[in-house]
Amino acid sequence: MTGASGFIGHHVARHLAESGHGVIALDNREPSPPHPDEIQTILCDIRNGDLPGKNCDAIVHLAALGGVRPSMERPSDYIETNVGGTVRLLEWAKQHGVKRFIFASSSSVYGATNGTPSAEDNPLSPCSPYALTKVQGEQWGKLYSESHGIDFIALRLFAVWGDGQRPDLALESFRRKILAAETITIHGDGSQRRDLTHVSDVARAVEQALAWKGRGFETFNIGTGRNHSVNDMLRAAEAWTGMTTEVKYGPPHPADVLGTLADVRKAREILGWEARVAFP
């Protein structure tokens, strides 16, 4: 598993180990807190580091530069890590005969939508370099699936939340600023809506994608089929802290979309997966 020290990766690694999988956890930084003893931890930069020399049954590829907004300022870094790193891992899978590749894609591949749930066969219209790298990662996976027989499963994750989430994500950013009595600035009027998916549900989706008996290239939405506004997230952060703070509303960010909402029928019908944790 790559990106195993990140927010999502830490949860997924622990879940898979508790479910009986042997996990080799790769990241370019130490996990904090440390992984359980049964997880083998390797420090490795997927762009140019030494990948494991032994075979494994599957790759769970979670490593990536995250964030729509910073990708607007650093597109080359996102291409190098998110696309280059993915291709390097696909080559490693081909050379070592690994036949299952789970790829953490993103709801951002759909771009701006009209408020209806996004289904896997909808046109893709990425609005940021980050989103484009996720589309390209899927395309490389499809190529390697068709050319080299790798079962490539792209999980399009919708707005993941939970313990340990990145400080730049809205919920955690709001919580920290409220506790510090700092002013919160919201881009737009706060009516933008996100399908918020708990990280424990993402971990179960990865487990079920590993166990799926299908073959070839597939994409699955991993969301709840419900969404909440940014103002809802702010009110939830205030409730969690028991405090309030000043809020300012500014111009919309060009990389933001008005809403994300997952059509989750395919994951339910084919993977047997559906979300269990509701927000908040």
CA distance 21 to 160: 23
Report the DSSP beta bridge partners of residue 222: 157
- Catalytic choice (110, 130, 144, 249): 130
Token readout for 260 is: 């994300």
Active site residue 110: no
**Reduced to 3 DSSP states, what percent helix, strand and coil does the chain have, rounded to the nearest 5?**
40, 20, 45
Q: Evaluate whether 194 touches 171 at the Cβ level (below 8 Å).
A: no
Contacts of 24 (CB under 8 A, 6+ apart): 1, 39, 40, 42, 52, 56
Task: Report the alpha-carbon distance of residue 3 to residue 5 in Å, rounded.
Answer: 6
| Burial call 71-93: b when 16+ CB within 10 Å, e when fewer | bbeeeeebbebbbebbeebbeeb
Give the angle subtended at the CA of 237 by the CAs of 203 and 10, to the nearest 5°: 25
Residues noted as catalytic: 130
